[in-house]
Amino acid sequence: MKKQTPFRPFFVAVLASACFLASCTTERGIRTVKPVFHDARLDAWAEDIDDLARNLPVLHKNLFFRISRESFRDEIIKLDADLPTLSDAAIKTRLRAIVASVGDGHTILESDPVRLLPIAPYWFEDGIIVVNAPAGHPNLVGARLVSIEGVPIEEAANLASTLIPEGNEASRKGDTPAILLDPEALVGLGIVPADRADEVVSGKAPIRLVFEKDGEKIQTELSPVQAEEYRTLRWAVARPSDADLPLYRRHSELAFWSEYLEKRRLLYVKYNSCSDGPNGTAKDFFEGVAKKVRDGSVDALVIDLRDNGGGDSSLMDPFIAELETLPVNATGRLWVVIGRATFSSAILNAMAIRNTTAAILIGEPTGGKPNHYGEIKSFSLPNSGLRCQYSTKYFRTSDRDPNTIEPDVKEGLVSSDYFALRDPCLERILADTSAPRN
């Protein structure tokens, strides 16, 4: 979509106001009249907004389970009214916020960033810390992010949370760092001042950042890079070999894998995605796990779901049913690791294990909710091409309606443990498990 400098002549405001007053609600969709601005850019966005407002309420299983139809409509009308004053980045961000306000983690307006700030941050227990930086900025590794464009990081994180649909602290910690890397989001949220917005979004101007490390402030400017360039950056810290990494950080490219800790008679299973993988089918993998447990060499089983964002929950169902009869189904011998990235089908698997076995859940609260909407489909907006993902089914796994799965044993991650290549969850399991020590 061609970008133009926004302006708001008097006649446009009058015309838009007349159109807003004519807006109305259909049986399920929102609005039947869209504003006309006689400006190619604004009219294209108005058509996209109208398409979203008409289709999302009709297609979603139950769009207004948390917000009211009226509040959704009001936000659409406000966005239409503000269009002449907004950049493309701001419009896109406002649309993302409207969809996120629905409160369904599977219902989002997808927006692949064009550019990204060239750092890799993670929200640890001790703050948002840079875990890697470009080779030219090694001093930023291990530094805590303090502010962006003069906006304190706490305020910036609160603004970013308007784009996060789940609304729990775990999803906030999981999603915020990525949002703060996106220049368009920083502009749309008002973190980057309007007078610098165009240059920042286009990559022509840097973003001002303040970090803190070892008690000292680091002020720097970083220019956003193309998303493709970000993926191939030369980083200051090379990835350690798998042999040096803690188990949970190994083989992230695989949907599933396992390792037997012979001295502890413990079988560690990492399930990264509810799907088949290049190393075989989930069915064969879990049949192998069950066989290994039954052969008498396993006294404790760890199922690690902390990085599992979902897929097909049914792939694990036969194994979960068999877990009830396995000898490790006893307190202190069966563990499930969960975390902020545990979502969707992995939530269903974690709840099924909790509800039917003696498993102890350890780690962080989950980003996904036990009861949630899912089974996603999508449609694309006609002009921007932005894809709106929506849910078509409701899943209920708990009689209550908590906004996260709370672990039985809470183990967060501090940055010092990450850089020391430690896994507090597995260390706690090895300390507490009833498996015999050799």
What CA–CA distance (Å, rounded) separates 174 from 291?
35
pLDDT at 4: 36
CA quadruple 204, 210, 211, 212: dihedral, nearest 10: 160
pLDDT at 7: 31
Q: Which domains does the chain have, with CATH numbers?
A: 10-104 (no CATH), 115-231 (2.30.42.10), 247-368+404-432 (3.90.226.10)
Residue 19 pLDDT > 70, yes or no? no
Asked whether the beta carbons of 344 and 310 are under 8 A apart, the reply is: yes
Encode pLDDT of 351-370 as tens digits. 999 999 999 999 999 999 99
DSSP character at residue 288 = H
Residue 304 pLDDT > 90, yes or no? yes
pLDDT at 30: 72
pLDDT band of residue 28 (cuts 50, 70, 90) is low
pLDDT band of residue 10 (cuts 50, 70, 90) is very low
Average pLDDT rounded to a whole number, residues 58-65: 97
CA distances in angstroms from 354 to 258, 271, 322, 349, 375, listed in the order given: 21, 16, 14, 9, 22
Residue 1 pLDDT > 60, yes or no? no
SS3 421: coil
Asked whether the beta carbons of 308 and 270 are under 8 A apart, the reply is: no
Q: Are strands 127-132 and 108-110 parallel, antiparallel or unpaired?
A: unpaired
Residue 205 pLDDT > 70, yes or no? yes
What does pLDDT average to over the chain? 91
pLDDT at 26: 41
Average pLDDT rounded to a whole number, residues 279-306: 97
**DSSP per-residue string spanning 134-188:** BTT-GGGTTPEEEEETTEEHHHHHHHHGGG-SS-SHHHHHHHHHHHTT-HHHHHH
Average pLDDT rounded to a whole number, residues 293-297: 95
Q: Which residue has the tokens 């990081």?
A: 153
pLDDT at 111: 82
Average pLDDT rounded to a whole number, residues 194-200: 92
pTM: 0.89
What CA–CA distance (Å, rounded) separates 272 from 425?
16
Residue 78 pLDDT > 80, yes or no? yes
Encode pLDDT of 83-130 as tens digits. 999 999 999 999 999 999 999 999 999 988 999 999 999 999 999 999
pLDDT band of residue 31 (cuts 50, 70, 90) is low
**How many CA atoms lie within 13 Å of 377's alpha carbon, on the beta-carbon side?**
9
Q: Are strands 387-395 and 372-380 parallel, antiparallel or unpaired?
A: antiparallel
pLDDT at 167: 76
Q: In terms of Cα–Cα distance, which of 254, 233, 250, 232 is closest to 241?
A: 250
Asked whether the beta carbons of 76 and 29 are under 8 A apart, the reply is: no
pLDDT band of residue 341 (cuts 50, 70, 90) is very high
Average pLDDT rounded to a whole number, residues 397-403: 90
Percent of the chain with pLDDT over 90: 88
